[in-house]
């Protein structure tokens, strides 16, 4: 990477609050990687996640995403009958399932290779490329169960770890470069499409809001780390 690129990166990165970014990455990881649980949603409401979410550049995705998430959390209540609480949670779980898990093919498949490879298979060529990239940089993922490592939720787990390090290593050019390549080559080429499908097919304001906020945060990271997503053909 040229000295000019290093200078640009340092200037942009110096303004980032990595404590805040780590928190956002962790929230998105938990929202995207597994079925929701009542305790997790309760925590998001208690912490006023929608109200405290940064506005960044004031993009439409940010405004609408915060509004949708805020409206959902405002209506989410533990002060209801056990039966109503269970119904609300089941509705949310069903929405997560049809978007990201199944049964059947999810409407917003969360694995990158499905978008990037013509056969639209999981664990395809681009998954192997990401695996090699992680191995070369000593990245280890703690998985709840065996699954493709190019799940969008797992990218935010890696970003969580990376932002944790950048809090005290803002001059670590190797770590900045790692993040740039992760974004440019492995996540950004397809993540926006995944989020677009999630917003389009979500049945709840929760996942519509999360889809929009994930898009907005990805755009902010693209700006902060000064990268352009590789122009790759998408197959869905």
What are the pLDDT digits (tens) for 40-97? 999 999 999 999 999 999 999 999 999 999 999 999 987 788 899 999 999 999 999 9
Q: How many CB atoms lie within 10 A of CB 95?
A: 21
Peptide bond into 103 cis (omega under 30): yes
Q: How many CB atoms lie within 10 A of CB 89?
A: 16
Total count of residues recorded for the chain: 236
- Tell me which DSSP letter residue 151 carries: B
Cβ-contact 213, 28 below 8 angstroms: yes
What are the pLDDT digits (tens) for 9-19? 456 788 899 99
- In DSSP terms, 151 is beta-bridged to 111
Cβ-contact 30, 22 below 8 angstroms: no
CA 113 to chain centre: 16
- Distance separating alpha carbons of residues 131 and 85, to the nearest angstrom: 40
* Domains of the chain, first to last: 3-224 (1.10.3480.10)
Choose the weakest-confidence range: 14-18, 143-147, 158-162, 185-189.
143-147
What are the pLDDT digits (tens) for 226-235? 999 999 999 9
Cβ-contact 172, 166 below 8 angstroms: yes
Residue pointed to by tokens 């979500």: 202
């Amino acid at each position: 990477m040229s000295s000019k690129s290093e200078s640009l990166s340092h200037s942009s990165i110096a303004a980032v609050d990595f404590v805040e970014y780590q928190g956002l990455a962790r929230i998105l990881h938990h929202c995207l990687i597994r079925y929701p649980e009542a305790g997790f949603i309760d925590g998001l409401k208690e912490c006023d996640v929608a109200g405290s979410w940064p506005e960044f550049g004031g993009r439409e995705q940010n405004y609408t995403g915060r509004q949708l998430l805020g409206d959902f959390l405002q209506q989410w209540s533990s002060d209801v009958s056990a039966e109503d609480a269970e119904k609300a949670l089941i509705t949310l779980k069903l929405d997560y399932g049809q978007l990201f898990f199944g049964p059947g093919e999810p409407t917003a498949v969360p694995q990158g290779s499905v978008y990037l490879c013509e056969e639209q298979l999981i664990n395809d060529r681009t998954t192997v490329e990401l695996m090699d990239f992680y191995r070369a940089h000593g990245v280890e993922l703690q998985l709840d169960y065996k699954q493709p490592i190019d799940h969008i939720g797992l990218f935010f787990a890696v970003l969580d770890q990376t932002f944790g390090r950048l809090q005290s290593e803002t001059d670590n050019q190797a770590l900045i470069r790692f993040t740039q390549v992760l974004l440019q080559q492995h996540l950004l080429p397809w993540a926006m499409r995944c989020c677009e499908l999630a917003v389009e097919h979500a049945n709840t304001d929760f996942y519509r809001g999360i889809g929009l906020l994930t898009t907005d945060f990805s755009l902010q990271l693209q700006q902060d780390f000064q990268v352009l997503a590789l122009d790759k053909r998408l197959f869905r």
